[in-house]
Amino acid sequence: MNDENFFEKVYAVAREIPPGRVSTYGAIAEALGTKGSARMVGYAMNGAGTATPPVPAHRVVNRAGLLTGKRAFQGESLMAELLRSEGIEVINDQVVDFQHLFWHPLK
DNA sequence: TCCATGACTTCCG
DNA sequence: ACGGAAGCCATGG
């Protein structure tokens, strides 16, 4: 059930992301040792809402800082609202100063 | 076992 | 600079 190495790894790293910070799929995938499986990171995030404890998937964005997974949330701008609630400015589904707020799991 | 899908990333035109 | 296509790995049918 919750012993899926890949999914669990993704969830573990995602929960390591500090508030007010954001990470990327590629960075997480690289932290897992599967740099080429950036798509799998997002795929695993698909169950983040049903995973326990819940994973702050809203802190995970693509390499461009774009909220590509916002559609996986219930609200249309829920993901942006969550990020904004943490002090992250989001405009047009894009994280402002993303590069500055970027957090690396291995770093 | 093979084919199809996907919250990505990179390259080519 | 912009848009489209291919490559990548893991999961499900």
Query: pLDDT of A8-41, one tens digit each?
Result: 999 999 999 999 999 999 999 999 999 999 999 9
pLDDT band (50, 70, 90) for residue A63: very high
pLDDT band (50, 70, 90) for residue A98: very high
Q: What is the pTM of this model?
A: 0.92
> Per residue in A69-88, is it b (16+ CB within 10 Å) or e — as a string?
bbebbeeeeebbebbbeeeb
Q: How many residues does chain A have?
A: 107
For residues A46-61, average pLDDT: 93
Across all strands, nucleotide nearest A5 (CA–C1'): C10
Separation of CA A62 and C1' B10 in angstroms?
Answer: 14
Residues 8-67 of A with CB under 7 A from strand C: 34, 36-40, 43
pLDDT band (50, 70, 90) for residue A2: low
